[in-house]
Structure 1
Amino acid sequence: MSVRSVIDRYYERVNAGDWDGWLELFDEHLVMDEQLGGHLEGLNALRGAVAGMKQVYSRFQNTPRHFVIHGAQACVVSHISATSASGKPIEAEVANYFLIEEEKITYMANFHDSVPFAPILSPEPRRVRASE
């Protein structure tokens, strides 16, 4: 399978909500630097992050717009269009960097503005009534 095929499957599975299939694209010993989730090592850590994503997003789409592939490396510029579990929209431009070895993603990093993700990063403010 080519680097481009792995990358295409990455976005197909994300956009289909096929998180189990998405996880299959990663090497067991992957390293990921995720802008919101931090530094992750190993497939079990990524499984935990996916469980969190399922809780904070009611909808998540990541549409690729531009690909640069060189050997085993790829960079994809894309647009995230999502909805938080509380119904707030999230729109963000993102760049993902991938290292693919033996048809598996062994390293990934993403880069984006964190401001659009405020609905999932900040808890809903507690409303206090004057009588409290």
Structure 2
Amino acid sequence: MSTRKVIENYYEYLNNGFAQGDLSKWVGIFAEDFVMDEQLAGRQEGVQPMAILADKMLEGYTKWIMHLRKVLVEGDQAFVLWEVEATTSNGVDINTKGANYYRVKNDKVVYLSNYHDSVPFNTDVAFTSMRT
């Protein structure tokens, strides 16, 4: 599978899975040795933190849609500009833009870093914790 297809699947699995209340397919796109440098949660290693994040997202948000705005792919790397529309479980709307950098290997995401305005995700307003 191409890097572009893995990235397209990432967003399809996230958006459709959230709408269906089951993010297991999205979690399945991450490699067992996955590493993420997440702007709010810091460095996360392994697929387990993503499973925790998936559960927390389903609890903490009533709406979560990520729109792809631009995808640039070179070999096993991708850079994505996105926009998110979300509503927290306490009714706060979040709309912001950001960028993600990915590395893909064997049809799995092995590395992800993200960059976005953190103000809309203020912990007083929105869920941000990846820890149990």
Provide the TM-score with structure 2 as the length reference. 0.87
| Identity, % of aligned positions | 37
Is contact 2:60-2:127 (8 Å) kept?
no
Task: Decide which moves more: 73-82 or 42-51.
Answer: 42-51
User: Which one of 34, 49, 52 corresponds to residue 53 of structure 2?
Assistant: 49
Residue aligning to 1:63: 67
Provide the TM-score with structure 1 as the length reference. 0.87
Residue aligning to 1:13: 13
User: Which one of 25, 29, 35 corresponds to residue 29 of structure 2?
Assistant: 25
Greater RCO, CA 8 A, separation 6+ = 2
Residue aligning to 1:109: 113
1:97 aligns with 2:101: yes
Report SS of the residue matched to 1:67.
Answer: strand
Q: For structure 2, which runs of at least 5 residues remain unmatched after alignment? A: none
CA drift at 1:121: 5.2
In the aligned structure 2, how far is the partner of 1:56 from the partner of 1:37? 15
Of structures 1 and 2, the larger Rg is shown by 1
CA drift at 1:101: 0.6
Q: Number of residues paired by the alignment?
A: 122
Letter in 2 for 1:66: K
* Runs of 4 or more above 6 Å deviation: none
Deviation readout 1:52-75 (Å, 9 max, x if unpaired): 212211110110001110110000
Is contact 1:80-1:93 (8 Å) kept?
yes
Report SS of the residue matched to 1:120.
Answer: coil
Residue aligning to 1:128: none
Is contact 1:80-1:92 (8 Å) kept?
yes
Deviation readout 1:63-119 (Å, 9 max, x if unpaired): 000111011000000101100010110001010110001111000011000111222
Q: For structure 1, which runs of at least 5 residues remain unmatched after alignment? A: 123-132
Residue aligning to 2:86: 82
Is contact 1:66-1:78 (8 Å) kept?
yes
- The alignment yields a C-alpha RMSD, in angstroms, of 1.4
